[in-house]
Amino acid sequence: MYERRLWTAEMRYILDNKCSIQNNDYFLQKAKSLFPKLQKTVVFPQSNPQELLKNEIFSRTDSEEPLGTGESLLLDFGDHQVGYLTLKLGYTGSHPDAPVWLRVRFAERLQELKEDVNAYHGWISKGWIQSEELHIDVLPTVLNLPRRYAFRYVLIEVLDISSKFRLTVREAFCTAVSSAMREKLQPYHGSPEDEALDQIACRTLHECMQTVFEDGPKRDRRLWIGDLRLQALVNYETYRQNDMVKSCLYLFAGSTLPDGRVSACIFLEPEIEADDTVMFDYSLFFIATLRDYYNATGDRDTVRELYPTALRQWELAQQNFDDNDVIRDSDQLGWCFVDWDLHLNKQASAQGIYLYCTRALLDMTRMLNLHTQTGESPFPSADDLEKNLQRKTEAAKTYFFDKLAGVFVSGESRQISYASQVWMVLGGAADGSVLDAVERIPQAHRMVTPYMYHHYIEALLQADRTEKAFEVLRRYWGGMAREGADTFWELYNPENPSESPYGGSIVNSYCHAWSCGPAYFLRKYVMGKIA
């Protein structure tokens, strides 16, 4: 397992060891002016969570019963919530003569509460684990926990209390927050199974829609571009809060690395600032996200303003190619993301992603027609882009395609993976035959995240394998639904339920934006059609 030190050091893009982030105030002001208003809803726990009573490890689910040392109360809020917890606490017995020592744990899935927090020694911070210890000096009291949490379940454990009194939880509620407006959600009709998948997907997106499109409200609680691209696609079919996408695009353009490179993610607090983490594919996805935004809204002015940022990502990507138009491989962890799999070779996928994003740039270049309008333009013409695309497509076929195996291979070890085939199809360098061929290769590297599965479904659809696409979608996302998911997860490997790239599943996120794809695919390709 890779250490934290290694991963972060290698993911960083540091110029001269000091990385000064470049801000464009005009873009940032524009982004802020489009920030959505958070909607607040008060949610109470279920009064009689019968199912939970079967979990004998939790001693109480009925808040009427007073708690002594070593006893705990489990609250079930009925669905995934993002928000703030309030507890109204009281006591029975003598006047409290010592502080109550409490632990409050929050969980998106019940299973998280069965995990031993102290057993986690993974490489991302333990700080993400949603667990607080506190001392209550005065009772009765109203306790407002200051952090925002992502959860369905709350476990209140009494670590110690004086023998002269017992703790009562008189009331508990969550002030849930989201910027998604329920009344805007477009209706969906399908089979009961598809409706269930759509509903879970919409709930996932709903929970991740805060001031920006967050990746996951438990972790990392910020704007990542790979996640944004997929969330935006789902948003166009569901909530249609398109100004939020616009705001996020301006955030990425408004805070970049010194050379104009779009960062992989943005922090909002205490001030807006790009992270110094960059990844080849994530920077390029700025282009595709902008093109998709245009397709959904027809907002030409925004594309005009942000086109130079998009073009810059494409220009910077040229540095990664060798003289034969082949993307250079790298052994730096995280140079290109593709999937949360540290053993996946990313070279072929990166070439495919480049082709995919070049096509998106070409679409916008043609639409804006900047070159011919101004005569002498600093921008490459559509013809220049076409030629570049052709050369790099040819290189993809020449250097990565293994004729004998009938699939694309990646890296020096000629690794065969689903990811490489998917991205070559999406990049236009291959037809669907590689998707069929890879299935017949048992050692082919498989996919671990709904993020990568999303692209697989997209590739199957593009290659006219519609039936297969929806069979995979229903099996994969249906697998999470059958496991009782209220929202879709960051990682799901049916062959390894405890899969985690972080060294422990306690820090996995179980409401993760990049997994909300079913609402996009089912609404766009199935609703009202035969599939």
Residue 214 is a binding residue for ligand RAM (CB under 6 A): no
Applying CB under 6 A, among 58, 149, 188, 224 the residue interacting with ligand RAM is: 224
Residue 217 is a binding residue for ligand RAM (CB under 6 A): no
Number of residues that bind ligand RAM (CB under 6 A): 8
> What is the C-alpha to C-alpha distance for residues 11 and 114, in angstroms, rounded to an integer?
33
Query: Which of the ranges 183-191, 220-228, 409-417, 522-530 carries the binding residues for ligand RAM, by CB under 6 A?
Result: 220-228
> What is the C-alpha to C-alpha distance for residues 336 and 283, in angstroms, rounded to an integer?
10
Shortest Cβ 501–ligand RAM spacing (Å): 8
Residue 510 is a binding residue for ligand RAM (CB under 6 A): no
Residue 341 is a binding residue for ligand RAM (CB under 6 A): no
CB 226 within 8 A of CB 287: no
Tokens of 392: 């790099």
Shortest Cβ 500–ligand RAM spacing (Å): 11
Applying CB under 6 A, among 45, 66, 83, 226 the residue interacting with ligand RAM is: 226
CB closer to ligand RAM out of 380 and 450: 450
Tokens of 442: 């048992």
> What is the C-alpha to C-alpha distance for residues 496 and 167, in angstroms, rounded to an integer?
40
CB closer to ligand RAM out of 227 and 363: 227
Q: Give the DSSP letter string of 208-241.
A: HBSSSB-S-TTTT-SEEHHHHHHHHHHHHHTT--
CB closer to ligand RAM out of 325 and 341: 341
* Whole-Å CA distances, 5 to 11, 14, 67: 10, 15, 43
Shortest Cβ 341–ligand RAM spacing (Å): 12
* Whole-Å CA distances, 70 to 153, 159, 166, 172, 280: 19, 6, 11, 20, 50
Q: How many CB atoms lie within 10 A of CB 48?
A: 10
Instruction: Quote the DSSP letter at residue 327.
Output: B
Q: Is the peptide bond before 518 cis (omega within 30 degrees of 0)?
A: no
Q: Burial-class residue 464 by CB neighbours within 10 Å (0-12, 13-18, 19+).
A: exposed
Applying CB under 6 A, among 45, 96, 122, 216 the residue interacting with ligand RAM is: 216
Alpha helices (H) along 12-94: 25-33, 50-53
Nearest residue to 108 via CA among 482, 487, 479: 487
Applying CB under 6 A, among 157, 227, 292, 325 the residue interacting with ligand RAM is: 227
Shortest Cβ 224–ligand RAM spacing (Å): 4
Query: Which of the ranges 146-154, 206-214, 223-231, 516-524 carries the binding residues for ligand RAM, by CB under 6 A?
Result: 223-231
Residue 486 is a binding residue for ligand RAM (CB under 6 A): no
Shortest Cβ 124–ligand RAM spacing (Å): 8
Query: Which of the ranges 88-96, 153-161, 222-230, 379-387 carries the binding residues for ligand RAM, by CB under 6 A?
Result: 222-230
Give the type of residue at 458: E
Shortest Cβ 339–ligand RAM spacing (Å): 10
Applying CB under 6 A, among 13, 213, 337, 510 the residue interacting with ligand RAM is: 337
CB 466 within 8 A of CB 189: no
Shortest Cβ 265–ligand RAM spacing (Å): 7
CB closer to ligand RAM out of 511 and 519: 511
Shortest Cβ 375–ligand RAM spacing (Å): 41
Please name the residues in contact with 303: beta carbons below 8 A apart, sequence gap of 6 or more. 290, 291, 293, 294, 364, 367, 368
CB closer to ligand RAM out of 215 and 363: 215
Applying CB under 6 A, among 194, 220, 281, 339 the residue interacting with ligand RAM is: 220
Residue 66 is a binding residue for ligand RAM (CB under 6 A): no
Tokens of 524: 């766009």
Residue 285 is a binding residue for ligand RAM (CB under 6 A): no
What residue ranges bind ligand RAM (CB under 6 A)?
Answer: 215-216, 220, 224, 226-227, 337, 514
